[in-house]
Amino acid sequence: MNHDLHIALYQPEIPGNTGAILRLAACFGATVDIIRPLGFELSDKTLKRAGMDYLEIAAIRDHADFEAFESWRKADGRRLVLLTTRAAEPYASFAFRRGDVLLFGRESSGVPDTVRAVADSQLRIPIRAEARSLNLGMSAAITLSEAVRQLG
């Protein structure tokens, strides 16, 4: 698969979600960008349960903070696509491109407005009005699979 997609995790808090997303990305050939600080220690031990042996084939980029991530992203000319419950545009109607970075916020609070402001696009996954949100790993799986489907 040569779609060059990235999943960026903004200050993730739950190692099980991060491990599951690393496994997902490994299976789809995507890179995971982890933006610090984290709510856990980034080690094989903390991620192994959800990521299993897929951690060995996962592509991971570790960024010291959002500013370091943004410097890399801008220098690489990548589009930042934020997934948020506050967006109006459904993910399935969006035209994904090779090299897109799909950004997911903290499990407890999403991303701050300063991060939201630099996103090139903001998308949502439509769910029932009475439901608050999906699990982070599920959201990443739904969105990444649609992007890969579109890109062939």
24-74 residue pLDDT tens: 999 999 999 999 998 877 765 666 555 456 667 788 899 999 999 999 999
Any domain includes 67: yes
The range of the structural domain enclosing residue 87 comes to: 6-151
Other CB atoms closer than 10 Å to residue 126's CB: what's the count? 8
Helix 15-28 / helix 136-151 crossing angle, nearest 10 deg: 10
User: What pLDDT is recorded for position 109?
Assistant: 92
Any domain includes 1: no
The CATH number that applies at residue 72 is 3.40.1280.10
CB contact at 8 A, 7 and 102: yes
Q: How many domains does the chain have?
A: 1
91-128 residue pLDDT tens: 999 999 999 999 999 999 999 999 999 999 999 999 99
CB contact at 8 A, 15 and 40: yes
